[in-house]
Amino acid sequence: MYDVSCLLMISVCQQIVVGSSLNYQTLANKDLMPGILPISSSILLPHYCTTSRHIVRMAAAHTTSAGVSLEAMPIKPPSHPTYDLKGIIKLALAEDAGVRGDVTCMATIPFDMEVEAHFLAKEDGIVAGIALAEMVFQEVDPSLKVEWSRKDGDYVRKGLQFGRVYGRAHSIVVAERIALNFMQRMSGIATLTKAMADAASPAYILETRKTAPGLRLVDKWAVLIGGGRNHRLGLFDMVLIKDNHISIAGGISNALKAVDQYLERENLQMEVEVETRTHEEVKEVLQYASQTKTSLTRIMLDNMVVPLANGDVDVSMLKEAVDLINGKFETEASGNVTLETVHKIGQTGVTYISSGALTHSVKALDISLKIDTELALEVGRRTKRA
């Protein structure tokens, strides 16, 4: 199943959007698109510290990771029908190792040497990606032992040692950067999400599909860890009628009618949201819903938060729209959402507030993995990073 919003628009308009070498009938052919992307050849992955190689094909299925139980995680990743979390880890490791493996560790570290390394927070924030980092270490070397004094979603302060890994030095050094890349990005997302979610209350904070390509599930997992909620995972699990769908369909009423007909014809039940940009569009949606049995569940109120010259925002248009809807449907505010504006938006009575900034321009949380922690702390204090 692909973009249900687009499929139903095409069904009504009886046309294929021009501008792509693939038409929608091609996209709907499951034989041509078995997973997120068609994979026609195997991915060549090296052993990460040696020059021998093995073949791995990325599976189009939700998988558990070796040595890490999803059930044991305090906050589980979102469920996705085609996303292969273990495959993403393999790709990240292969990207780092190339065809030779880690030439520096092979040159400088005795093969059988064992060490202990500690995770060190270099700034305050919400830690996220602990479970994913453990999956990375297990993928590189199942014999590595990882222990944590904090869990995903916990607050960490600058200078805190919150976990350790011990075992073969080669394996730890190879896994280090990939584990930290995931953790730093996820922790940055979780930290901002926590701040936004607290400020937005009683409204709920959502991310969008503005995620790093290939890291959709990872980014959305971090939002959950930070106390936010997930918007749709992709084009397949929710109908979201946006401005371009409305323009193609010839108006909001036409688009809503197309959705209702499509879902009935395909015997599908899923959430349906429509984007509105004016009070007139909100009224048209409400009029349609009053006259027709509809699958509509949520109305997006887009760019109804108006920036002011003094840096504040005017939320009166948004508040009026929420009052018009009067609880008949869930509401979602979108546009001009920042840490500074989200509290005021949340006081309008809107159900949800969505923010692309949670994932599209995240600032990573500074975390390191050090063997000589005393020296690392000394340097950190000198640079004000520990």
Residues catalogued as catalytic: 177, 210, 242, 273, 302
Give the C-alpha distances (Å, rounded to integers) separating 178 from 62, 88, 94, 124, 276.
21, 11, 10, 21, 41
Cβ atoms 182, 217 nearer than 8 A: no
State the first-to-last Cα distance of the chain, in angstroms, to the nearest integer.
48
| C-alpha torsion sign, points 248, 236, 242, 216 | negative
Task: Report the distance separating Cα 334 and Cα 301, nearest Å.
Answer: 6
- In a 13 Å sphere around the CA of 130, the CA atoms on its Cβ side amount to 28
Task: Report the distance separating Cα 67 and Cα 143, nearest Å.
Answer: 10
DSSP structural state of residue 43 = E
Task: Report the distance separating Cα 39 and Cα 36, nearest Å.
Answer: 9
Cβ–Cβ contacts within 10 Å for residue 273, how many? 23
Task: Report the distance separating Cα 212 and Cα 217, nearest Å.
Answer: 10
- Strand 204-206 vs strand 352-354: parallel, antiparallel, or unpaired? parallel
- Residues contacting residue 9 through CB under 8 Å, at least 6 positions apart: 245, 248, 249, 255, 258
Torsion angle (degrees, nearest 10) of CA 212, 24, 240, 58: -40
Helix axes 252-265, 4-13, angle to 10 degrees: 100
Give the C-alpha distances (Å, rounded to integers) separating 87 from 35, 92, 170, 234.
12, 9, 22, 19
Question: Minimal CA–CA distance to 4: which of 252, 272, 212?
Answer: 272
Q: Classify residue 140 as left (phi > 0), alpha (psi -120 to 50) or beta.
A: alpha
Helix axes 169-200, 85-97, angle to 10 degrees: 130
